[in-house]
Each structure stands twice: as C-alpha cells, then as structure tokens.
C-alpha cells in the first residue's frame, strides 16, 4: 500500500494507469491517490480510446482533474507509460493528440506543484491491477476512503488469489 507521506517537494503521490485492448470495446482508466485523510480511488470504463497512449493520457487528465476538485494541487503522478512522460516532458505535440495535450496543459496550469515520472509496472501495481480487473465499469467512480475499502480489498484478494501459482 502507498505510504501517506508527501515527497521532498511536499507533493502527494498518485498512481495512474489505463488498460487498452486492440479488439476490445472499452478502456479502463484508474488512479490511486494517497492523501493524509486516506486513499482516493478512481475507476472509469469508457469507449475504447484510439490507442494505448491516448488511454493513458485520458487516465492522467482525469486523475489530475479529480485531484483538483478535492483541493489537491500539489501532486506527483506515477505512470508505467514512458511514452506519456516523454510527450509531457518534451512538450511533444503530436498532431493526433493536439486536443488532448491542450486539455492536459489547461489542467496542469491549475496545479501549484505538478510532477510526473515513469515507474515500472511492478511499482504501479495498485492502479495497474484496478485498470485490468474493472475494465468494464461503465460509469465513473471516485471512491474516498473508507467506503470502498471492502470493494478494493475483495478485488485485490481475487486478483492475487487467481494469479498465485
């Protein structure tokens, strides 16, 4: 579980992930933010994005917007998508993502302190697991602690029980 300790810049930590299947109908967007008052989870299933990178960008912007709606304006985001970090850090404006990157920049400018880094999938396990397990959720859900602990605990138990040797 994430530790509720801000990093050296005083930022909270948010893990973001998306699931995308080429022949699927939906994308799964998930985030996990560790706040001093508890863990905030976001889960959204939506029509499949055009690419895995677009799904990751949608997950990030949704997590950013959700954080800001809750007054969290100093957040470090972790993603296991290195291409996402690259287009953000290098301000690589790919024509296909022009609208999405404009939206991202509008949200980013509302943060007092924003940072993002690439982490391995094993370090992004909470968001990654939720993105794969609950991909078919049709509505957006943002679940503040403690109401959703039972649901999340049962999902993680099922996932780790089913993946045990």
- pLDDT tens digits for range 83-141: 999 888 876 566 677 788 888 999 999 999 999 988 876 655 555 555 444 444 444 45
Query: What is the pLDDT, as a whole number, of residue 128?
Result: 56
pLDDT for 137: 44
Rg of the chain over CA atoms, in angstroms? Answer: 15
d(CA 162, CA 159): 5
Tokens of 73: 């304006």
- Can you tell me the mean pLDDT for 34-44? 81
Most confident of the following: 18-27, 54-63, 132-141, 148-157:
54-63
**Six-digit token string for 114:** 């924003």
pLDDT digits (tens, 9 = 90+) for 63-85: 999 999 999 999 999 998 999 99
For the chain, what are the domain ranges?
12-159
Tell me the pairing of strands 38-47 and 12-19. Answer: unpaired
Domain 12-159 has CATH 3.30.420.10: yes
Strands 26-35 and 12-19: antiparallel
Top-confidence residue, 43 or 120: 43
- Specify the higher pLDDT residue, 161 or 110: 110
144 is written with which tokens?
A: 């503040």
Taking the alpha carbons at both ends of the chain, their separation in whole angstroms is 22
Beta-carbon count within 10 A of 137 CB: 17
pLDDT at res. 4: 41
Largest CA distance in the chain: 46
- What long-range pairs does 154-162 form, CB within 8 A, spacing at least 24? 155/129, 155/130, 156/129, 158/133, 159/129, 159/133
């Amino acid at each position: 579980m994430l530790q509720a300790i801000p990093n050296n810049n005083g930022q909270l930590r948010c893990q973001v992930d998306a699931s995308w299947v080429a022949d699927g109908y939906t994308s799964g967007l998930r985030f996990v933010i560790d706040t001093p008052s508890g863990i905030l989870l976001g889960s959204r299933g939506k029509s499949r994005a055009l690419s895995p990178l677009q799904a990751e960008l949608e997950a990030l912007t949704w997590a950013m917007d959700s954080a800001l709606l809750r007054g969290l304006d100093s957040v470090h985001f972790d993603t296991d998508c290195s291409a996402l970090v690259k287009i953000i850090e290098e301000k690589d404006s790919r024509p296909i993502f022009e609208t999405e990157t404009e939206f991202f920049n509008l949200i980013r400018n509302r943060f007092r302190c924003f940072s993002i880094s690439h982490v391995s999938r094993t370090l992004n396990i909470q968001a990654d697991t939720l993105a794969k397990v609950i991909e078919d959720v049709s509505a957006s859900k943002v679940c503040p602690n403690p109401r959703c602990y039972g649901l999340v605990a049962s999902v993680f138990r099922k996932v780790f029980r089913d993946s045990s040797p």
